[in-house]
Structure formats: structure tokens, C-alpha cells
Amino acid sequence: MPEQTPHQTPHIVIIGCGFGGLEAAKAFKGKAVRVSLIDRTNHHLFQPLLYQVATAGLAAPLISAPIRHLFRSQDNVTTLLGEVRSIDAMNKRLEFVQPSSGVPHALAFDHLIVAAGASHSYFGNDAWEAHAPGLKTLQDAFDIRRKILMAFEAAEAQDDTAQREALLTFVVIGAGPTGVEMAGTLAEIARHTLPGEFRRINPASAKVILVEGGARVLQAMPLDLSEKALKQLVKLGVDVRLNAKVTQIDAQGIQVDTLPTPTDLEAKTASSPQTVSARSYQIHSKTIIWAAGVAASALGKQLASSTGCELDRAGRVKVLPDLSLPQVPSISVIGDMASLMRDVDGKSVPVPGVSPAAKQMGRCAAANILRRIQGQSTLAFHYADYGNLATIGRNAAVVDLATPLGALRFSGKLAWLFWLFAHIYFLIGFRNRFVVLADWTNAYLSFSRNARVVAEAVSPESS
């Protein structure tokens, strides 16, 4: 594609079509601007349900929609398939590569919204990725699905007891929302979906271990909901290890250091210091899923070196209250890539990396660009926090709603139904909502999972 020739109509480029980029592009509907929306894939992904694809509950097309289809009737949006390689803030241009052809293209912009999201971070231990995949893309979900289903298949064929046990041990690292969902669903698959289908192993004997470095699960939730979630996990059969720090991951399993707990530390004053040193042990497992660390897209570093903007510890770009970069008003950063503090009851806390925040930022960044074009001053982003919810498994979820009358917290079956309908409501397009609901009603009644299909049985990671 040639560089666009200069044009009177302002040209806005949006990088990434997650929740933030999608909302931003939609906000330009009917406005006198040209929008180019670049994404690495051909689809918008409803990430909150990605774990259902990874655990064979939903087919991939049910939670993804082709980007160009979403914008077919918004004439001022051009959809481009491409991976952005560099951003030249000074000259207002970027370079991207069309993945199916490998050909680089240059693109000039008047305004840029960077919404490239985040990917998993292994805290500097990049070698762990080969043994413990994370869950961000559809390809990740297919890889994890294959790993899980093939572990049961290999266990059925395995005679060595220790090997079989390692194949039937599933480790999830990190007890945030994704880790809790994955562990709960894995336990459900082992206890309810697969029993009766194998002749040599008992799938219900599989161990699901959730390893968390902190002192509780779902740390973004209030303490009482964390405790309720923990109880629901244990009830589903998940072995939860808190204060457990992963120090090594390889083809055999993981190495864990148990941190001293406050109780241990109290005991320390009464006994010798040695008793509270970290205990180290190994878990043999062939299926390890990484849900612990997230880092902003590497485009953050690009922006830092080209504009001098600052990054936080997770690689997120520190933005001004109007979401633009300091000294670079033509570039805004939103969603999981943006680092912004807000005031809650007098305390300064970060805007969380959740989809409602990304959507609100998308709308705010678009509105500020339109204000700039019209010579108006920009408005500061205000995060409307409607609360937080997390699912654990069948009939198990926790909900923390922010209502005008104060917080409303509930858990268990009612929370699970609330979670279910909220997610189906926010799914894009009627068909998907309808089919997902039909799928889940059937799965709920029969304990079955409808996407237990692996295209190629051979797992490249298998030993």
C-alpha cells in the first residue's frame, strides 16, 4: 500500500482492535475523519470467554468476529491486517507489515491511538514459556486445549505410574481471574466431563493445582469475596497453594518455594529462625498453564524511545489525564497499555486493566481527538467503575457491584448466573449470544463440553 497522499480530512490511525480500539473506531462513526484500524489478526476477540475455548467448552468463532465485518457499514473506517513495527512520533508515521505477504507498508497519521494491549510476561524467565503457555490469543487457546486433551490421551496409554501421574497433574500458575477460571474448569472437566470415557485411567483422579504467590486468590476483589472464591475452588476439587512462589519451570514440572506466612512469622519469635525459612518442593506435571504475569505490548518501549514518555513496571505507558502522551498531543494510549492513576476515597490507585476501562478509554480518546480537530480543549478521562466479577466454575462465581447505594456483593449460584448473563449480553452480535446460551444450557444440563476437538493430534511440545 502506498503512503496516503496528504488529504484535507484528518487521518486517525488506531493500532489494535481489542475492546479499546474497537470502541474508539466506533466513536468516529459519521464524523468527518478517515480512520485506519490496524490489527495483527482478522478478528476482534471477546477475551473474557477465551478460557472457554481453551477448555473445549466453546468453538472459537463463537467469541470472535471479523473486524472488517464489524465495520462494513462504517464507511470512514479502513481495516488493515498488519503488525506495527515502528512508530515515528516526530514525523507522524508508522510502519506495519502485512503478515500474509510479509511486505512492509508506511502509513502517515494526523492522530494516533495506540491500543495494542498486553501479552504474558514470564518476569525475565522467557524459557518458561515453552513449558507453560499463557492465554491471550486464539492460537494460545488452541495450544492449551490440545495440551489438556492430549494429556488425558497420553495418560490412558501410559504404563509407568509416575509418568501417568505427571500427565494427570494440571498446574495453573497465578490465581487472578484467568487462573481461577482455568483451574475451576479443569477440575470440572476431570470430575464431571470425562469420567466414563476412559478404560484404563480414572480422569476424576486428576489433580488440579492452582499456585499463587500472594496470600489470597482474586486479589483485586474484597477480602471476603476472595475467601468465598477459595472455598468454591476447594469444593470443585482444586488444590490451591497460596504464598507459593514458582522458582523453576521445565519439561518435568515446576519448583515452588513456600513463603513464610504471617502465622509463621509470629512463630518465629517463639522458636529458632530456621523453622520459618521457605520450604522448597517440586510438582511433577506435563500440563502447566501460565496465568501469572502480564506485560504491555512492546510498542510501549517504541513510544518511550521515540517520544521520551515514561513506562511503569509492567511496561505500560504513563499517559496524561486526557490519555495523550506528555508533549505529544497527537498520540493517545489506551486500555491495557495505558498507565493512569485515579483517586478513590482519597487514595491514588491505578485504573484497572479490565475491558470496561478499555472501552471507556477508547470513547474518551476518540472524543478528545474530535475536540482537538475542532480547536477545543481536551477532557480528562473519568473511569466509571461498575464493579468486578469473576467466575470459578459451575454455579460458582463472585460479584462485587458498585451501585449508587453502595457495594453489592454476592457469590455462589446467583453470582454465576449474573456472570453468565452479563457475558452473553456483552458478546458482539445476536447470533453469538444465542448460540453461546444454547451451548451452555446444553453443557450445564449434560456436563458435556462441545469443542473437544484437536485438529492435529501431535503436540509439538510433547515429550
Residue 103 or 417 having the CB closest to its own copies: 103
251 binds its own copies (CB under 8 A): no
Exposed (0-12), middle (13-18) or buried (19+): which is 2, by Cβ within 10 Å?
exposed
Site stretch for its own copies (CB under 8 A), options 13-21, 23-31, 101-109, 255-263: 101-109
Site stretch for its own copies (CB under 8 A), options 13-21, 60-68, 214-222, 360-368: 60-68
Region at 196 (left for phi over 0; alpha for psi -120 to 50; beta for the rest):
left
All three cell numbers of 283, joined, read 510438582
Residue 101 or 271 having the CB closest to its own copies: 101
All three cell numbers of 42, joined, read 482478522
**Total of residues contacting its own copies (CB under 8 A):** 66
d(CA 365, CA 371) in angstroms, rounded, equals 10
Contacting residue, 4, 29, 31, 66, with its own copies by CB under 8 A? 66
Residue 115 or 354 having the CB closest to its own copies: 115
Binding mask 298-327 for its own copies (x = CB under 8 A): ------------------------------
78 binds its own copies (CB under 8 A): yes
Catalytic annotation, pick one of 181, 188, 197, 456: 181
Contacting residue, 31, 59, 204, 387, with its own copies by CB under 8 A? 59
Please state the closest distance from residue 403 (CB atom) to its own copies, in A: 36
278 binds its own copies (CB under 8 A): no
Query: Which residues within the stretch 376-415 sit at the binding site for its own copies (CB under 8 A)?
Result: none
32 binds its own copies (CB under 8 A): no
Please state the closest distance from residue 434 (CB atom) to its own copies, in A: 7
For β-strands 287-290 and 169-173, DSSP reports them as parallel
Binding mask 412-441 for its own copies (x = CB under 8 A): -------------------x--xx--xx--
343 binds its own copies (CB under 8 A): no
Contacting residue, 130, 157, 379, 380, with its own copies by CB under 8 A? 157
CB-CB neighbours of 73 under 10 Å: 8
Give yes or no: 165 in active site.
no
All three cell numbers of 158, joined, read 501410559
d(CA 206, CA 314) in angstroms, rounded, equals 35
How close are the terminal C-alpha atoms of the chain, in Å?
44
239 binds its own copies (CB under 8 A): no
d(CA 133, CA 140) in angstroms, rounded, equals 7
Site stretch for its own copies (CB under 8 A), options 153-161, 205-213, 234-242, 363-371: 153-161
> Contact at 8 Å (CB) between 371 and 379?
yes
Site stretch for its own copies (CB under 8 A), options 181-189, 208-216, 319-327, 452-460: 452-460
d(CA 335, CA 21) in angstroms, rounded, equals 8
Please state the closest distance from residue 213 (CB atom) to its own copies, in A: 31
73 binds its own copies (CB under 8 A): yes
74 binds its own copies (CB under 8 A): no
Contacting residue, 4, 26, 29, 81, with its own copies by CB under 8 A? 81
Query: Which residues within the stretch 175-234 sit at the binding site for its own copies (CB under 8 A)?
Result: 196-200
Contacting residue, 7, 32, 85, 139, with its own copies by CB under 8 A? 139
d(CA 374, CA 321) in angstroms, rounded, equals 19
Residue 104 or 326 having the CB closest to its own copies: 104
Residue 19 or 96 having the CB closest to its own copies: 96
Contacting residue, 41, 86, 119, 258, with its own copies by CB under 8 A? 41
Residue 23 or 439 having the CB closest to its own copies: 439
Question: Given the rule CB under 8 A, which residues bind its own copies?
Answer: 1-2, 40-43, 59-62, 64, 66, 68-69, 71-73, 78-82, 98-103, 105, 137-139, 142, 149-151, 153-154, 156-159, 196-200, 431, 434-435, 438-439, 442, 448, 450-459, 462-463
Residues serving a catalytic function are 181
